[in-house]
Amino acid sequence: MDLQLKDRTVVVTGASSGVGLATARYLLSEGARVAACARDAGRLSAAFDEFSWADKDSIYLASCDVTDQDATNSFIAGTLNRFGAVDGLVCNAGRSLMATLQDTTDQQLRDEFSLKIFGVLNMVRSARSALNASPHGSVVNVNAILSRQPELRLAATSAARAALLNLTHSLAEDLATEGTRVNSVLLGLVDTGQWRRRFEEADSELDYEAWSAGIAANRGIRLGRFGTAEEVAFHIVSLLSPLSGYTTGATIDVGGGVGRYV
């Protein structure tokens, strides 16, 4: 199926690994132009080396701290200088803080909200005019099922994710009058580098597949496994497509059945 993304410019944050990198790969395969950022420019560049099949003129890479408005302004300015437009924005930069409230410092709580809220809001502010100038402007916020189903061991992250979901709905209503759509993808457990590192730190006698399946069972994931970054990327790219032109303020749950909220 042609998703009608050829020659459209899409910004992807947190693109050096995991869901962000998989989304960039999918977009490039659809013929889109990708402006990708991450905090570590070296890691970002190394990750994109795998795309030897892609047109290098369709890729713009830069370091960017999405919690810094000046940095996001500079990154979007660079994107516009390179491609002349921004048609889509994927706000994917994020992390999880594994800690209960009792074990979370005030600064850690502030940092979580700064990344989850300002990491999105700064990018939207910087790209808003360009998105509104596009005939198919679209924003996809990569969020988590934690936003609706909090976990005590991820207390600060759960709270920040809930705030982001609320913000996403406000942005959807606000930007709709300008022709830009805003939607969310809510993740469950996804097989990314973060989980691979936790597996190595666990020093388990099990192999990764058995170890992760045990976690999936313990977390109540009905499909019995972690999701893949590619499975998430499919939904992100689908929401960016003009074929989803009548969808805004929506959330897609990509969690293998872990969501138990109504």
Give 169-222 pLDDT, tens digit per residue: 999 999 999 999 999 999 999 998 778 888 999 889 999 999 999 999 998 999
- Give the span between the Cα atoms of 97 and 107, in whole angstroms: 12
| Residue-wise pLDDT tens digits, 89-146 | 999 998 889 899 999 999 999 999 999 999 999 999 999 999 999 999 999 999 999 9
Confidence (pLDDT) at 36: 98
- The CB density around residue 69, as the number of other CB atoms within 10 Å, is 15
- Report pLDDT for 191: 92
Report the pLDDT averaged over residues 30-56. Answer: 97
pLDDT tens per residue, range 217-254? 998 999 999 999 999 999 999 999 999 999 999 999 99
CATH code for residues 9-190+228-254: 3.40.50.720
Q: Look at residue 197 in the predicted model and tell me its pLDDT.
A: 86
Q: How far apart are CA 235 and CA 195, in angstroms?
A: 21
Q: Does residue 79 register a pLDDT over 90?
A: yes
| pLDDT mean over 81-90 | 98
Give CA–CA dist 6/140, Å, rounded.
18
Is residue 257 scored above 90 in pLDDT? yes
Tell me the domain boundaries of the chain: 9-190+228-254, 192-226
> Rounded distance, CA 262 to CA 259, Å?
9
**pTM score:** 0.95
